[in-house]
Structure 1
Amino acid sequence: MAEPRVPPGRAGRLRLRRSLEAARRGADLLDQKLRILRDRHEELLRAERTAWEQWYEYLARADEWLRRGLLLGGEEELETIRATRPAELTVSWTSTMGVRHPGAAECTVPAREADEPVASNTALVHFEAACAEAVRAAADYAVARAASRALGDEAVRTRRRVRSLRRHWIPRLEEALHAVDLALEQSEHEDAVRRRWAAGSRQHGG
């Protein structure tokens, strides 16, 4: 970060005071933003963990029903229930403290048409339903993960900016202001001495 550029004299002191006030106000605002980001990030991390657990649960359930279905009907039964149309995913977006991120996912798994073949045993029917739930849970997990990453990254950037302001820029401005105050004080003292000396000289000369 570059050193503050200071005009000489009182104009420089005024500029430094304004810059210091703006830097402190900016650091306070960034602190507030960071607190909000951290709170929201924690919420999204919990949502991400919950979504992952639900996804894993549906996958495990689907795997169990698949094993049962294969035992009852054989692998050729899988061709019967093969999906003919892809799932449809719609992601809505939102913003937190200026950070745009996914807000929610709406995942639609098309139902079978009336004339399409269905599984010949109940286990594979349950397998198909569990797969649909797993797809929806995967979409929820992807949204929560992307949102938590976006806010987590912004929190890191904001923390770095706060640290830079409080540890580097604000101390430099304070040091520069202190130096200007000392210089002005010294200059005013020297001016006062010169005025007294000039006044004394006039009195003695008169």
Structure 2
Amino acid sequence: MSGRGSRVPVGRAGRLRLRRNLATALRGADLLERKLRLLLDRERVARRAAQDAGRVWRERMSEADTWLVRGVLLGGEGALAEAVPADRARVEVRWAALMGVRHPEAVSCTGPVRSPEEQTPPNTALAHAERAYRAAIRAATEHAAQQAAADLLAAEAARTRQRVRALNRHWIPRLRRELTAVELALEEAEHEEAVRRRWAASHGAR
């Protein structure tokens, strides 16, 4: 082959090798294009899910902030301190793989659990704020997981697109050119051999 000092193979063995290489490159390009379509489809799903979760996250945060202000106005900052549970939220991410790309598939969020000894929110506004903040946390984790999945899939899609482009724009055309050159050389050699045989046959018959 051409490039990096290599030569185009000659003869029937060279033609066979080029045909095999071309068939392999064509199959590889087809597989990579299928992979690219799958990655882009899954990325679009993850992007939409991230956008939806982000919208819910902002809505719940706005709602929670509104209730928080009302609760503090009603009970003071001391009421807010009493309403915060000591436990923390817990997040678990389930991972999956698509075409070799490991990415977050789903996420579960468990809100903080208030022990029996802890006080509940002292007024209704703070209770509403707590529920809204819990919902905001769940939406935030969903948004983060889907956004991460979309970014990972997009990065692999970009790498796959580059490989497809390299095959379709460089390797496959080059293999076809080299195969054409070898086939033409073989045809010329076979034609010349046929001419020599006819010449030899005609002169040998005299």
**2:71 corresponds to 1:49:** no
Aligned residues: percent identity? Answer: 53
CA distance in 1, matches of 2:2, 2:140: 47
Structure 1 pair 195–2 and aligned structure 2 pair: CA distance change class (3 A): closer
- Contact kept, 8 Å, 1:6 with 1:16, in 2: the verdict is no
Residues 136-182 of structure 1, C-alpha deviation per residue, up to 9 Å, x if partnerless?
Answer: 11111111111111111111111111111111110000000001011
Root mean square deviation, CA, Å: 1.8
CA distance in 1, matches of 2:73, 2:80: 12
Describe how 1:6-45 pairs up with structure 2 within 5 A.
6-45=8-47
TM-aligned CA deviation for residue 6 of structure 1: 4.2
CA distance in 2, matches of 1:148, 1:5: 43
CA distance in 2, matches of 1:198, 1:83: 104
Residue equivalent to 1:187: 189
1:119 corresponds to which of 118, 121, 128: 121
Describe how 1:127-138 pairs up with structure 2 within 5 A.
127-138=129-140
Describe how 1:23-172 pairs up with structure 2 within 5 A.
23-172=25-174
Residues 96-140 of structure 1, C-alpha deviation per residue, up to 9 Å, x if partnerless?
Answer: 222211111111112211110222211111111211111111111
TM-aligned CA deviation for residue 201 of structure 1: 3.3
Structure 1 residue runs without a partner (length 5+): none
Structure 1 letter corresponding to 2:154: G
- Contact kept, 8 Å, 1:6 with 1:15, in 2: the verdict is no
TM-aligned CA deviation for residue 5 of structure 1: 5.7
TM-aligned CA deviation for residue 196 of structure 1: 2.5
2:180 corresponds to which of 171, 178, 181: 178
Partner SS state of residue 118, structure 2: coil
CA distance in 1, matches of 2:160, 2:64: 42
TM-aligned CA deviation for residue 195 of structure 1: 2.1
CA distance in 1, matches of 2:2, 2:74: 74
CA distance in 1, matches of 2:102, 2:121: 43
CA distance in 2, matches of 1:78, 1:71: 10
Aligned residue-pair number: 204
Structure 1 pair 113–18 and aligned structure 2 pair: CA distance change class (3 A): same
Structure 1 letter corresponding to 2:79: E
CA distance in 2, matches of 1:10, 1:43: 50
Structure 2 residue runs without a partner (length 5+): none
TM-score by length of 1: 0.92
TM-score by length of 2: 0.92
- Contact kept, 8 Å, 2:15 with 2:179, in 1: the verdict is yes
Structure 2 letter corresponding to 1:8: V
Partner SS state of residue 205, structure 2: helix
